[in-house]
Amino acid sequence: MGSGATGSGRGARPKVTRRREVSDASARSLLTTVLGEYVLPHGEPVWTQTIVDVLGRFDIEEKSARQALARVAAEGWLSSERVGRRVRWALTPPGRRLLVEGAERIYGFGSGNHQWDGRWLVVMVSVPETKRELRHRLRTRLSWAGFGSPEPGVWVSPHVGAEVEAKSILEDLALTSEVMSFIATYGALGDVQRMVAAAWDLQEVAERYESFIDQFSGLDTKSPESALLAQTRLVHEWRRFPFLDPQLPGELLPAKWSGSRATQLFHDNHAAWRDHAQRGWRELLAQQP
C-alpha cells in the first residue's frame, strides 16, 4: 500500500530506506485493518493517540502511524476535527463504503467453496517480447485478478464472470485489439490437473495457508487486550488471501486442501474472539482523556 518514495536530482525528496518503506506500508495496511474491524462498526470518531497506541502494539512507530493517518485522510477515507490540541478522525462516506466493500470481500472469502459448472474463461492476448514492461504489467494484473497462465499468451479462469475484470484490465493497458476470449469446457485431450498445475502455483498458496493455521491455532485470548491483538492480527493476515488464492473450485484443488481448513479456522476464531476484542477496543477508547 502507501510507502515512501526515493528521488534523485535537485529538489528530490530524501532517500527512504527499505526498512522505512516496509514500516510505512505496514502502518498503512494495519491502519486499514483497524479502521474496518473497530472504527467502522462503532461509528464514532477516534483520537489520533488511540490509533498510535493500537499500531504501537504491533511495533509500528508513532511517526509511521501518524503518516499513515495523514495518507488515508488524503485519499478521502477520513476527515479530521481538532479539539483543543488534539485531533480526532471520522470515516467519510466514501471511506465507510470502501471499508464495507472490503469487509464483504474478506468475510465472504472462502477457499474451495465455490460451485462450478465446468466452464472456463479463456483469454488469449499477444504482447511482443520487446514490450517487457507491458508484459509484466499484464501478468501482474491478470494474476491479481485470479487468472492463471498455462502457456505463454493464454490466460484461464474457472470464473467466467471474470471476463468483465479482464476487459477492464486490457482496456487500461490498451490491449483490446490484441485479444480474443472464449467460454469453453475442457476437452478430451490433455489433463486438466496438469493444466491447473501449470497455470497456478498452488503449493505456494497452500504453504501460506498452513503457516496461517500454525499461527492462529490454540492462541490464548482470555483477556480483552489479548483478544484485540489476536483478532487484529487474524483479520490483517486473512486480508492477503483473496489476492493470493485464485479461489479455484474444489474439483480443481489438491486433496486435503489447506485453504479449506484455514477458512474454517478464520471464521471460527473471528466469531469466538469478536466480543472480547470489541471490549478491548472500548477499554482502549476509555483510556484516552
Structural domains for the chain: 18-106 (1.10.10.10), 119-185 (3.30.70.240), 201-287 (no CATH)
Q: Tell me: the pLDDT tens digits for 60-85?
A: 999 999 999 999 999 999 999 999 88
3-state secondary structure of 30: helix
pLDDT at 14: 32
Write down the pLDDT at residue 112: 57
pLDDT tens for 201-223 read 999 999 999 999 999 998 878 89
Strand ranges of the sheet holding 179-185, from the earlier edge strand across to the other edge: 148-151, 154-157, 119-125, 179-185
pLDDT in tens, 90-112: 999 999 999 999 898 888 887 65
pLDDT band for position 3 (cuts 50, 70, 90): very low
Exposed/middle/buried for residue 214 (C-beta within 10 Å: 0-12, 13-18, 19+): exposed
In which residue are the cell numbers 490433455 written? 190
pLDDT at position 7 is 38
> In the structure, what pLDDT confidence band is assigned to residue 25 with cuts at 50, 70 and 90?
low
Predicted pLDDT at 113:
63
Sign of CA dihedral 120, 124, 130, 131: negative
Measured CA to CA in angstroms, residue 163 lies from 66, 168, 174, 188 at distances of: 40, 9, 16, 24
| Cα diameter, the chain | 73
Model pTM score: 0.79
Which of 146, 140, 150 minimizes the C-alpha distance to 186? 150
Residue 122 C-alpha cell reads as 479463456
Q: What is the pLDDT of residues 221-248, one digit of tens each?
A: 889 999 999 999 999 999 999 889 999 9
pLDDT band at 30 (very low <50, low <70, confident <90, very high): very high
